[in-house]
Amino acid sequence: MKERLQIERIETDILIIGGGTAGCYAALTVARNSKHRVLIIEKANIKRSGCLAAGVNAINAYIVKGCTPEDYVDYATKDAAGIVRRDLLLSAARRFNDVTADMEALGLVILKDENGEYVARGNRNIKINGENFKPILAKAVNDEDNIEILNYVNITNLLVNNNQVYGAVGFSIVEEKAYVIKAREVLIATGGAAGLYRPNNPGFSRHKMWYPPFNTGAGYAMGILAGAEMTSFEMRFIALRCKDTIAPTGTIAQGVRAKQVNSRGFVYEDKYGLTTSERVYGTVRENQLGNGPCYLRTSTITKEQDEELLKAYLNMAPSQTLKWIESGKMPSEQDVEIEGTEPYIVGGHTASGYWVDTNRETTISGLYAAGDVAGGCPQKYVTGALAEGEIAAFSILDKWRETVDIDQEKSEQIEKQVNIILGEYEKIRNTENSVFSIEELEEGMQKVMDEYAGGISVHYQYNEKQLKLADEKIDKLLELTNQIAASDMHELLFAYELKDRLLVCKALIAHLKSRKETRWHSFNENLDYPKTDKNYFKYINSKMENGIIKIHFRDIVEEDTYEHTNQSR
Amino acid sequence: MSIRINQDKCVGCGKCGEVCPGTLISIENHKAIMKYPKNCWGCVSCVKECSVGAIDFYLGIDIGGMGSVMNVSSTGDILHWKIKKTDGMEIMIDVNRRDSNQY
């Protein structure tokens, strides 16, 4: 038997789970507007954790001159074929420019013209140097006295009683230590989920993916377990990327106006449409028709443009610059091959995540969500994550209660919950000779999702029979996680990442099964129902009840505000 | 996709491991070790953090890597990126953090 984990108990006012873009900005907002104590818990280190580790190449959600927040809402609504929350998009879009100006004040470099105006890249984007975006934000957070940061701690469970959140439980990944955190209000900002499906490069470079491989759906999983309502998991996100390096294509497509062409030189993007999902779908179809590989036509650009592209990629995806130089062929000499990634669940690009009200409070009282973990607000990107962090922070401050009553009975029930969670950590730490390793189970999960739930190998398509098999196989893998072993704290993290991903897969399959139509090609390509059906112009939401994921349909919200009707507070 | 840590150059300061978004690097016997090479995302945060240039970034052969390595040093706002090919050829690209992307 290993020695039991040392237990550290912490009380704070506001607990923020996840120190990425949204979490850091929420903390900063609270610190600037109140004296409340904030605790950020981050499983890595806030300096480079989350989506912006390597940098970000542009601000892609900005209201450029001549446009309005309503224009942004219209664009995002059309791109998602109507399955969005107008109130969430509008409230985020109204803040895009203010949060950008604040980042500039903190040190972010933004390109300006001779009149001092930001230079637009397309209709909703501005040009920046985003290499050090996250270190700039992290420094601002570090400079605030009432923000405490606990790096290298992974939260696994929320403490929820009678639909009210009281805190969370987790463990250190560098010390043999568990944490029990009590808080008045909790913001979850853990990001989306990568690694559910077999990736583009399943071998040595398995983590060379679009989304951070360290965003493993932990926030979704702890919400599902706590009975929070989730929305639109079936609106998967598949990114169109440079082949192999999985580097962004927007810089080439928008920056040097490169068109999508097939191997016969035909510009196919006009044929399939220009929404985010149609751009992926077109590429998939062209490959299926034998017209692959597909490219972004860069062979028409100049040597000077080559140089600028090399630099731009160093600021966000250096592997692409290395690839160009290593191959000896610059983009002006060879078109850039493109491919779709494996599907992800991510609320910053599509609409998957917590079902929140306009204030970003979830269906659990006192639990807020912001950034990629929050649903209903697609294409919010980095500025949207900042905006949602700010909205959630202001909502928390507006609703502030000076005293919180926890009676004896409740606190005993919560303590019981804590002990169950801590017991689970000890069980995994003390298991020996498990039949399968965590890595083997993860590969098993990714293969099931790939083949039966619309992964890369089946061109993102699936039917009901395949989904049923996927569900059965994921159940078997979930059962096997009862026997997993972790020899050290980092392996304990891997164990929870696997458990979280499997639970997210389970919810995802339930959502995919329920949308009996094809609303977004590739993102949800249901071969039994290949057309859009107006009866499914609804949100598909889910909630775990007694261990079972229950689906319910909700009507589209067209108002500018939305309140939960079943709140206890 | 991963990194190689030159054990002769490494001074064991641990900054690379602190900043890695996957916490994949640990210090053993006063030297940094890439503990989980297959889990590397390729963000190069560690390469930027290393003040003695001990970390090289490379592409796995499964994504077209041919043995070239990349690292970066900085003076003030300028990042000096260096790519060394297997034939010994070196390519330097300077990027100023004060300059925005043109695309």
Residue A459 in any domain: the answer is yes
Residue B103 in any domain: the answer is no
Taking residues A17-22, what's their average pLDDT?
A: 98
Domain count for chain A: 2
Residue A467 in any domain: the answer is yes
A276: burial class by Cβ within 10 Å (0-12, 13-18, 19+)?
A: buried
Residue A494 in any domain: the answer is yes
The total of other beta-carbon atoms located within 10 Å of residue A177's CB is 16
H/E stretch holding A513 reads helix A489-514
Average pLDDT value over all residues in chain A: 96
CB–CB contact A48 B43 (8 Å): yes
Q: Is the pLDDT of residue A569 over 70?
A: no
CB–CB contact B103 A251 (8 Å): yes
Residue B101 in any domain: the answer is no
Q: What is the 3-state secondary structure (H, E, C) of A472-500?
A: HHHHHHHHHHHHCCCCCHHHHHHHHHHHH
Taking only the tens place, the pLDDT of each residue in A328-384 is 999 999 999 999 999 999 999 999 999 999 999 999 999 999 999 999 999 999 999
CATH number at residue A534: 1.20.58.100
pTM above 0.90, yes or no: yes
Taking residues A496-522, what's their average pLDDT?
A: 98
Q: Is the pLDDT of residue A568 over 50?
A: no
From A340, A359, A387, the end of a domain falls on A340
Specify the pLDDT at position A567: 44
Residue B102 in any domain: the answer is no
Residue A246 in any domain: the answer is yes
Domain count for chain B: 1
Work out how many CB contacts closer than 8 A connect A with B.
Answer: 172
CB–CB contact B63 A490 (8 Å): no
Establish if A207 touches chain B: CB-CB under 8 angstroms.
yes
DSSP one-letter code for A531: S
Taking only the tens place, the pLDDT of each residue in A44-67 is 999 999 999 999 989 999 999 999
From A290, A323, A340, the end of a domain falls on A340
Residue B39 in any domain: the answer is yes
Taking only the tens place, the pLDDT of each residue in A516-547 is 999 999 999 999 999 999 999 999 999 999 99
CB–CB contact B23 A325 (8 Å): no
**B94: pLDDT confidence band, cut at 50, 70 and 90?**
very high
- CA B88 to chain A, closest CA, distance in angstroms equals 12
Establish if A326 touches chain B: CB-CB under 8 angstroms.
yes
A236: burial class by Cβ within 10 Å (0-12, 13-18, 19+)?
A: buried
Q: Nearest Cβ partner of A244 from B2, B35, B63?
A: B63
Rounded-to-integer distance, Cα A81 and Cα A76, Å: 9
Taking residues B93-100, what's their average pLDDT?
A: 93
Which residues in chain B have Cβ-Cβ distances shorter than 8 Å to A174?
23
CATH number at residue B59: 3.30.70.20
Residue of A nearest to B98 (CA): A109
Q: Nearest Cβ partner of B103 from A244, A312, A314?
A: A312
Establish if A487 touches chain B: CB-CB under 8 angstroms.
no
Which residues in chain A have Cβ-Cβ distances shorter than 8 Å to B81?
314, 318, 321
Residue B9 in any domain: the answer is yes
Q: Is the pLDDT of residue A162 over 50?
A: yes
CB–CB contact B1 A315 (8 Å): no
Specify the pLDDT at position A433: 86
Which residues in chain B have Cβ-Cβ distances shorter than 8 Å to A214?
21-22, 41
Handedness of CA A542, A545, A547, A550 (dihedral sign): negative
% of chain A with per-residue pLDDT over 70: 99
Residue A476 in any domain: the answer is yes
**B64: pLDDT confidence band, cut at 50, 70 and 90?**
very high
Taking only the tens place, the pLDDT of each residue in A98-157 is 999 999 999 999 999 999 999 998 889 999 999 999 999 999 999 999 999 999 999 999
Sequential DSSP letters for A79-127: HTTT-S-HHHHHHHHTTHHHHHHHHHHHT-EE-B-TTSPBPBSSSS-EE
Establish if A314 touches chain B: CB-CB under 8 angstroms.
yes
Taking residues B16-40, what's their average pLDDT?
A: 97
Residue A523 in any domain: the answer is yes
Residue B51 in any domain: the answer is yes
Q: Is the pLDDT of residue A8 over 80?
A: yes
- CA A463 to chain B, closest CA, distance in angstroms equals 31
Which residues in chain A have Cβ-Cβ distances shorter than 8 Å to B20?
44-45, 48
- Among residues A569, A549, A565, the alpha carbon closest in space to that of A557 is found at A565
Residue A26 in any domain: the answer is no
Residue of A nearest to B82 (CA): A322
Which residues in chain A have Cβ-Cβ distances shorter than 8 Å to B59?
205, 244-245, 319, 322-323, 326
Q: Is the pLDDT of residue B103 over 90?
A: no
Q: Nearest Cβ partner of B63 from A58, A121, A201?
A: A201
Range of the domain at B34: 2-96
Specify the pLDDT at position A254: 83
Range of the domain at A526: 431-548
Specify the pLDDT at position A122: 83
Specify the pLDDT at position A566: 55
Taking residues A18-47, what's their average pLDDT?
A: 98
Specify the pLDDT at position A383: 98
CB–CB contact B19 A318 (8 Å): no
Sole residue written with tokens 């035909």: A266
Specify the pLDDT at position A405: 76
Q: Hey, of A204, A440, A446, which one would you mutate to test binding to chain B, going by the most B CBs within 10 A of its CB?
A: A204
